[in-house]
Copies of this chain bind each other. A is one copy, B any other.
Amino acid sequence: MVKITDVARHAGVSPSTVSYVLSGKRTISQDTRLRVQASIRTLGYRPHAGARALASRRTQVLALVAPLRSGVNVPVIMQFAASVVTTARGFDHDILLLTQEEGEAGLHRVAESALVDGLVVMDVQLHDARLPLLQSLGQPAVLIGLPADPTGLTCVDLDFSAAGALCVDHLASLGHRGIELIGSPPQVYQRQSGYAARLAEGFRCAAGRHGLHARVHPCQDCPEAAQSLVRRLLTERPGLSALVVHNESVLRPVLSALADTGRSVPQDVSVVAICPDDQAEQAPVPLTSVTVPAEEVGRQAVELLMAKLDGRQVRSTTLLAPRLTVRRSTAAGARVLA
């Protein structure tokens, strides 16, 4: 194994000089720097991570706590994770992967054994049991999600409330007078993840502002539930003209059910989806949609964490503005046409 003393000898300098060339914490003459860098390359030197961590009290590793088992939303979780890893690498940090299931024990472990410099915690619930611990751990942390009381924490998430409102605004501007929201499974609302409720709240508020008829319908993650829900809605309100779908896994069945009952999109019914862009694009009729910007959420989380590690102050809550992409599933409602 090549060590710093080997490099120092090879370059004819002291170990500390090699260290400073690497860290840039001291000005080094051009000449010395080039010589040291050449030696590093020649010998193939890499600092020993453990030794570095011991001496500098920095590991260059961040923990990512992810819900690896939650059947739902797996693709989105992966997008977060990919974005977190990539962004962290851009800051010369690595990612240690912890599962949600390890719970508070895992947080204690990695923080207290100085395995990591900071934590990114995904899937934070409204009243998450880990919040007090995260406050007291003495390790900088960033949460993905928005707890009921974010005081003293750093949180990043999509502004789901604004997303709900955005869907309504778009449909209202097209002249629709009534909108039904097909939402997440009932458990998701109960689990108090917050995002489903926040979207529903933004949806309802915006509908109120526009004076629209609007209802929220939780829906199980299976095609059959979606189809029967759509049929029921069409029976109750044969003139139904606008649907917002906030449950990726039932998108296709919802569209099939509309087709089966003789409704065409967007001529008879306009549909807005909250889902990843690729799903919206691949639907039979490309869907007007609001996407969960997983890549951006992951990136911001790491950037905020790096800022905290640098001792910078950061805002407590970062809500990313939703963007609605108009595709071919929404069109003018009856009143506008009339």
A-side interface residues toward B, CB under 8 Å?
44, 46-54, 59, 61, 64, 68-69, 71, 74-75, 77-78, 81-82, 85-86, 89, 94-99, 101-102, 109-110, 112-115, 222-224, 252, 256, 278, 282, 284
Contacts and interface: CB of A to CB of B under 8 A. Distances in A.
Given A53-B49, A54-B50, A113-B47, A102 B89 contact: yes
A81 B100 CA distance: 13
21 contacts: A46-B109, A49-B53, A49-B59, A49-B114, A49-B115, A50-B54, A50-B59, A51-B54, A53-B53, A61-B96, A69-B82, A74-B74, A75-B75, A81-B97, A82-B99, A85-B97, A89-B99, A94-B96, A95-B97, A223-B252, A252-B252
Which residue of A44, A54, A95 has the most chain B CB atoms within 10 A of its CB atom?
A: A54
Contacts of A112: 44, 46
B74 A78 contact: yes
Given A54-B54, A97-B97, A222-B282, 13 more contacts: A44-B112, A49-B59, A50-B51, A51-B54, A61-B96, A61-B115, A68-B78, A69-B82, A71-B278, A75-B75, A81-B97, A94-B98, A95-B96
Given A61-B96, A89-B102, A222-B282, A82 B68 contact: yes
Which residue of A50, A59, A81 has the most chain B CB atoms within 10 A of its CB atom?
A: A50
Contacts of A75: 74-75
Contacts of A114: 48-50
A54 B59 CA distance: 13
Nearest to A63: B94
Nearest to A222: B282
A59 B113 CA distance: 12
A77 B51 CA distance: 33
Nearest to A88: B97
Contacts of A224: 284
Contact of A110 (B47, B51, B69, B94): B94
